[in-house]
Amino acid sequence: MNLLFVCSGNTCRSAMAAAVMDKIVTENDMDIYVDSAGLFAADGDKASENAVTAMARRGIDLSAHRSKRVTPELVKSADLVLTMTDIQKQIFEQMGYDLSNIFTLKEYLGIEGDIEDPYGGDEAVYDETADELYDLLVDAAEKIADKYGLT
């Protein structure tokens, strides 16, 4: 199963989400390939310093992350695409993508709202985002495992 997380720049939210999900997947021996990209990303940017710090506090090394832009190939190879905001999902629709496997992370879990962008915020803002992502992704991993027969 291929899972793609998408945000704007792929230096904060989607990078953090992929790192957290990769940890969950590894700890639970789940057959899920996790990736991330940004709709407006510049290829090769490092994760933001505060994202790296927030992840390090959770035992996750994000220092090697390099951003990449969403490509048609990435989207086509993904069984599930989870965006951080409804606007990002709408951009996929405007680009002509089939939305049958594209959801916001919260929408996928039956929750309304977006994952706010911590970019430019202090460490506390990034910690809040990391905590929110972790809580949501534990539930998302369970739902994915049930849906795709990975339990």
Q: Which residues are marked as active site?
A: 7, 13, 117
Structure tokens at 33: 């390939």
Task: Please tell me the distance from the alpha carbon of residue 140 to that of residue 150, in angstroms, as a whole number.
Answer: 13
Strand partners, 2: 33
Which residue from 22, 5, 18 is spatially nearest to 88, judged by alpha carbons?
A: 5
Q: CA-CA distance, 123 to 132, in Å (whole number)?
A: 14
Query: Where does residue 14 rank: exposed (0-12), middle (13-18), buried (19+ CB within 10 A)?
Result: buried
* Beta carbons within 10 angstroms of residue 105's beta carbon: 26
